[in-house]
Amino acid sequence: MKNGQAWGWRIAGLVFLVDQLSKWLVTGPLGIDRIGAKLDLISIFDLRFVPNVGVSLGLLPADSAWMRWALVLLTGAIAIGVAIWMRRETNRQDKAALALVLGGALGNILDRIRFGYVVDFADLHFGEWRPFLVFNVADAAITIGVVILLIRALFVREGQPKAVAPVEKQNA
């Protein structure tokens, strides 16, 4: 495996590990493991247990075993697609963004397999206003990765291909 390839897999692995470790710390040692459990850290940020049975923004709620496994398969297929894209990607910034998405997706997929829901716990709020739903490290990594990909796709132009001079026909 080329060094550039290993670099992307390391980022994805690190995101996955930090996500799973943070969820374990919150639900294990800190005891925030049931609906209603929370820990106020600072005036704008709490740790609050929220089992997310849907996908992003609570869409497609998996309210049955069939839907749970359908979401596992769907998100697994997306993760495979992202892994293939990351493997083929040559741009280092795009590879890093894809690695963030992949590591986060794998963390949330493992939750859904183990628990039937994704463990969300990070609650950023300003008074009663919440700019985001309660989220986790995986969600943050996925969002940051997607934003990087979008910004790069919309606003960053890699070196333009140089014009090739027309080949003149040679008379034989």
Identify whether 123 is a catalytic site residue.
Answer: no
Listed residue (140, 104, 130, 120) closest to 14, CA to CA: 104
19, 94, 123, 139: the active-site residue: 139
Q: Which of 94, 111, 120, 123 is catalytic?
A: 120
Catalytic annotation present for 120: yes
The full DSSP string for the chain is --HHHHHHHHHHHHHHHHHHHHHHHHHTTT---STT-EEEEETTEEEEEEEE-SSGGG-S---SHHHHHHHHHHHHHHHHHHHHHHHH---HHHHHHHHHHHHHHHHHHHHHHHHSSEEEEEEE-BTTB-SS-SB-HHHHHHHHHHHHHHHHHHH--PPPPPPPPPPPPPP-
Residues taking part in catalysis = 120, 139
